[in-house]
Amino acid sequence: MAELPALEIVGIILLLAGLFLIVASFGILEVAQINVPSGMKTFLVGIIFAGIGGGILFSDELQLRSRLSDVADIIPQPLSKNMIEISIIYAPEEKLYMVDAIEQFNQIYRKGRNPLTGERLIKDERPIVVKGEPGSSGTIAEAIINAVIAPNHKHVAKPTIFSPSVSHWLSLVNYQTGQSIFDLGDSLPTALAPVVMAIWESRLTAIQAKNGGAPVGWKELLAVFNSPNGWADYGIRGGRTTVYYGHTDPFISSTALSTLISEFSASARYHGNNPNFRRLTLTQVNDPKIQQGVRDLENLIRHYSARTTEFKEYIAQGPDYLDFVALEENDLIFINQGKTAYHPPEKLLALYPKEGTFWHEHPFAIPQTNWVSNEQRDAAKVFTQFIRSEAIQKKVLENGFRPVNPDVPLGYPIVPALGVDPNQPTHILEMPDPEVVANVQLSWQLVKKQADVLLLIDNSQSMLGDKLNQTKKAAHVFLDNMPSQNRVGLISFNTEVNRLVPLDLYESNQNLMRQELNQLQAFGNTALYDAISKAIDILKNASSDDQKRMKAVVVLSDGQDTISKTTLRNVLSIIKARHEDRNPVIVIPVAYGSDADIHALNSIARDSATRVQSGEPKNIQKLFEILGSYF
């Protein structure tokens, strides 16, 4: 039997003594031959004793109940069988706060409390559990479209809540399905981030000095590219002259889609001589002159990428790699806070283009479909309110997004010290009709910068077995999404350098490329430097009506050079000699496996202002999928 706490014993003694005195006060009790005086004084003393004792016991009971309640809050209770389960797929950048927010929401319900009020759940109030995962907005939008019009497709998504970076994707889902899957008016924003050009301080300062401090936009960035000596005409000497710009894939990335719409809008503004331009139309998207204006802007591109994740790391390497890149404002803050693998050599500044930009509002959208029940819809609205609550919105702000809750004032890290202006942007573009957005996407293949790409594959003896087999599969993945207007070629190297497929349009070359890849055999030594030297020479001398094409060598090697006549020093000299060209060849090395010559490949990447990509058989296909998105 459990022992009573000392305080409870005292309470019991006092309570019994008080009751004894109260009875004795009436003169009817005698104990052990001891007469207890009756009367009012004895009665009052009894009342006092009983009151004190009862108070101790009552207080102790309340404390016990409180302690039991605290224990219930500390020890999560299993959710009841009648819980409501909902799912959310959110934009990758939301992961900074969403993982913790979901866990906090679920934890509160496990404690038997309502996350909005903090009160205990009442009878028949069902707990809610949220399961979440990140996903690129364009990829998930496509999967939701498939789920509606082709439910048996291998790539479908059926979330209770879809939270893309921007509402463009919601309107595209409605347009592509021909149904009102999402109610844009009821899809509440949860975190705000303007799309900016993340540009190095030295570059923006040089442009502003050249233009007398006037506002900067696409027109001024293009002027640098068209200037005879590029950056040298802006006072930046001793390096390359051309402009390096990057953005992601508008079929996958929200930032890229908003940026491409902004480019079309800027071109329409200048061709239409309309300084107050705000909303793009289908006629303008299809106008050849406006398309050429966008093509001129896209010619600033050094290379593309499928995801913002890569560009956040790439631009952090400094101005030698990229001059500016399209990002959400929160991504720029992330870089300036030193959270990338590379520590930025100078501060990045947020350029809010004078022609206008978009807000990314990270809406919470609940699909009007048969996979979402009414109960799940109501539960999703509760979770939406929770994310918009003051406590969570403070976390949103901490991670570089602007809060949507007016009770959370704008503050750090939305500060000039981290490269952003809390008073910008001042010129906001209006979201075009969904048909316009869809046609902007389709027009990308017409306006994007074209590329000449040589793929170099090491097929020396050390590549024997699974290494080469996985490399072949990865090379096929690399080619899968290659635009037809790009020119591609294939070189293998072992003891000799073999030009298997000459550079030509992909639509003409793809069958031969795949055939030659399948026939690769591993044998001989490794003529790595000879292969790179030959590839650069081929691209340098490639005939082209347009010298603005990207020129890139993607080289995979698993070991040290063992037989080349060319030395590493020679290769680096060749790369450096082309560094100041208006359109230099870039070399992207892939260090394959644990025996790759990291020193040599890193030296090549550094002088080409790229970075070594590291791969092994188990992940080489994914790596080559990413590399394929560059072009």
Read off the CATH number of the domain in which 146 is found: 3.40.190.10
| Alpha-carbon distances of 136 from 162, 182, 335, 543, 622, rounded to whole Å | 11, 18, 20, 38, 15
Establish if 250 belongs to a structural domain.
Answer: yes
Establish if 327 belongs to a structural domain.
Answer: yes
Read off the CATH number of the domain in which 527 is found: 3.40.50.410
Residues 372 and 342 in one domain: no
Q: Which runs of consecutive H residues, i.e. helices, occur in 420-489?
A: 434-447, 466-480
Beta strand ranges found along 262-393 (DSSP E): 324-328, 348-351, 359-360, 363-364
Residues 161 and 228 in one domain: no
Establish if 418 belongs to a structural domain.
Answer: no
Establish if 420 belongs to a structural domain.
Answer: no
Indicate the pTM of the whole model.
0.83
- Determine the 3-state secondary structure of 349 from DSSP: strand
Residues 566 and 465 in one domain: yes
With beta carbons less than 8 A apart as the criterion, state whether 240 and 584 touch. Answer: yes
Residues 274 and 221 in one domain: yes
Q: At what angle do helices 329-336 and 308-315 cross, to 10 degrees?
A: 40
Residues 493 and 529 in one domain: yes
Establish if 421 belongs to a structural domain.
Answer: no
Number of residues in the chain: 631
Residues 25 and 117 in one domain: no
Establish if 445 belongs to a structural domain.
Answer: no
pLDDT at 305: 87
Establish if 440 belongs to a structural domain.
Answer: no
pLDDT at 396: 98
Given 25, 43, 73, which residue is the final one in a domain? Answer: 73
Residues 568 and 455 in one domain: yes
pLDDT at 394: 98
Residues 98 and 237 in one domain: no
Establish if 276 belongs to a structural domain.
Answer: yes
Residues 284 and 208 in one domain: yes
pLDDT at 31: 46
Residues 342 and 366 in one domain: no
Read off the CATH number of the domain in which 214 is found: 3.40.190
Residues 91 and 121 in one domain: yes
pLDDT at 74: 45
pLDDT along the chain (631 residues), means of 10: 55 61 56 52 58 57 46 49 93 97 97 95 93 97 97 96 98 97 97 97 95 93 89 83 88 95 94 84 95 92 84 84 93 95 92 96 98 98 98 98 98 98 96 96 93 96 94 95 92 96 94 96 96 94 72 94 95 84 87 93 91 91 91 90
Residue 290's domain spans which residues?
Answer: 197-358
With beta carbons less than 8 A apart as the criterion, state whether 605 and 571 touch. Answer: no
pLDDT at 609: 84
Looking at the structure of the chain, the number of domains it has is: 4
Given 298, 333, 358, which residue is the final one in a domain? Answer: 358
Residues 348 and 374 in one domain: no
Starting at the earlier edge strand, list the strands of the sheet with 451-458: 497-505, 487-493, 451-458, 550-557, 586-592, 613-615
